[in-house]
Structure 1
Amino acid sequence: MVETLYAMMEVHFKAKMTQVEPPKEDIFKKHTFARRSAQRYDEKTKLLTFKIFDTFNNAGKVKDELWKLLGKEKVLEEWGAQGLFLMTSNGEIFNAMEDERLLKVFKMPTLEEFLDSLMPSTAGVPST
């Protein structure tokens, strides 16, 4: 089976209220997070960005790990997600907030498996 491999997840948050301050500490440094990651706040766009750099095939699981960490820091209470972007290992970028299927794991058959399902082998069937 062929499955999509991702190389990065990037999530953008915008403050729900005008008086919200971004986290003072990098939450990835404050808490032990098993994946390479980065946190950034852009003063110009007012976006709080979290990036995870890792090879993974289950984007939903990685998102849930991040949400759990953000919940500990109350980020989800004060900030609303604006975009959740996934980059595949071959450089394609998708917005998972526009297509939630990207957060689910689908096992895609190889071409050979697909063709076999359409035309099962008749090698063991005697001819008449």
Structure 2
Amino acid sequence: MYTLPMGARVADAVKAAGGVRQPAAAASVNLARRLVDGEQITIGAPGLGNTQPPPLPDPATTVLDLNTATPDQLEQLPGVGEVLAARIAEFRTTHGGFTSVTQLQEVPGIGAKKYEEIKNKVRI
């Protein structure tokens, strides 16, 4: 198991694991794809094929946990793009996690209007 920074890609995980022994085996995996927390990546193992990340939640019905949601999942929130999702994840890391949903208002780029749009779609 390897711990990589937020925003790391499959290529970063492969490099951390020592690279691939048979370069052709890496052709079955999208090395540019962003990693999802907790996923297993298998390259070149017979019969296992390409390992895909878990599906993203349905943004219309899912309430995300601010302390466990990946940046890709956070991007599913209304008005949250890649940059703001990264800021939320960085705030979480810097502050040891969220203790209340209202702390979202302390994240740069989340004003009163955006907070009102997303507060009911997240939890602790």
Q: TM-score, normalised by structure 1?
A: 0.30
Structure of higher RCO (CA pairs closer than 8 Å, 6+ residues apart): 1
Higher helix share: 2
Point out the structure with max Rg over C-alpha.
1
Higher strand share: 1
Q: TM-score, normalised by structure 2?
A: 0.30
